[in-house]
Structure 1
């Protein structure tokens, strides 16, 4: 797989996360640290799925743990601050991309039973090719969270407030179903 787009998406996300004036979401959505913790959880899960496929097992992908506030708080507590969270996101994104870069076409096409929730609603409950899970990160998931981070800017405009509402809790996030 080619992960050029995914690597670029993470660069943009981490640039947005480095913005010093990020506040809390006005609509009760996630703050910057929760977004980063969520990404760490999702990326680890998808990397584990990819490694499982390569190992010959038939793993599943279920994003519920990456939405759980207790789990997000636990991930945040394991880091010494936003800079540490950001570095872990960068490192883990690199690991995920390195794994994806080495996937054969056969492995990338393995169907992975997937369960995705967003904003407490079922988004997907069916098998998705492994490549679809990974490509969905670059095509939708990471850019949506980048917009969500940018919408947290304290000095944001009214357009930022509208983006905050649209991006919170994964309303716009899906995975490619090729």
Structure 2
């Protein structure tokens, strides 16, 4: 598989994550996930898809179900296993590399294996059907990682510019 687009998507995400050191970045105003939960979600998804890919290579027929990566208890557990946001970011970086390295080595045959998949988003069913393994991986680059990059960027609180003559 060609992971150029996926690697680029993660580069943009990690650039956005570099802004996470700002003290005003963290909680979503719409009761959405905070920055750490977004990062934990990405770790969960990436590990799940890497496990599916390795399962396919091993000859098993795994399934993909993203519900565990949406579970707040699981996200909190992942966050607690890290020493802070910088550690979460480093883990996202290294795990994205692992996932891309696995995908780079997939044969065309393995990439075309249909994986029974269940995807939810905001408590709504998005997908409940088999998807080629390559489709799961490409979906990260085309949609999943960019959506979460945007979420991270949206968490930034605009800093007002001082108006001359006003304190």
2:66 corresponds to = 63
Provide the rounded CA distance (Å) in 2 between the counterparts of 1:121 and 1:144.
Answer: 16
**TM-score normalized with structure 2 length:** 0.90
Determine helix, strand or coil for the equivalent of 2:60.
coil
Per-residue CA distance 1:17-43 (angstroms, 9 max, x = gap): 12x641310010000000000000000
Q: Per-residue deviation at 1:107?
A: 0.3
- State how far apart, in whole Å, the 2-side matches of 1:150 and 1:22 are: 9
SS in 1 for 2:127: strand
Partners of 1:44 and 1:21 in 2: how far apart? 29
| Deviation (angstroms), 1:143 | 0.3
- Assess if the C-alpha contact under 8 Å between 2:26 and 2:36 holds in 1: no
Q: Tell me, yes or no, if the aligned pair for 2:63 and 2:116 is still in contact at 8 Å.
A: yes
Which digits, 9 at most, give the CA deviation of each residue in 1:108-127, with x for residues without a partner? 00000000011011110000
How far apart are the structure 1 equivalents of 2:75 and 2:137? 21
C-alpha separation between the residues in 1 aligned to 2:124 and 2:96?
27
Which of 1 and 2 has greater Rg?
Answer: 2
Which 5+ residue runs of structure 2 have no aligned equivalent? 158-165
- The TM-score normalised by the length of structure 1 is 0.85
Structure 1 residue ranges, 4+ long, deviating more than 2 angstroms after superposition:
none
- What is aligned with 1:170? none
Q: Distance in 1 between matches of 2:59 and 2:144?
A: 27
Paired residues of 2:14 and 2:93 also in contact (CA < 8 A): yes
Q: CA deviation at 1:14?
A: 1.0
CA positional deviation for 1:85: 0.1
Name stretches of at least 5 consecutive residues in structure 1 with no aligned partner: 155-176
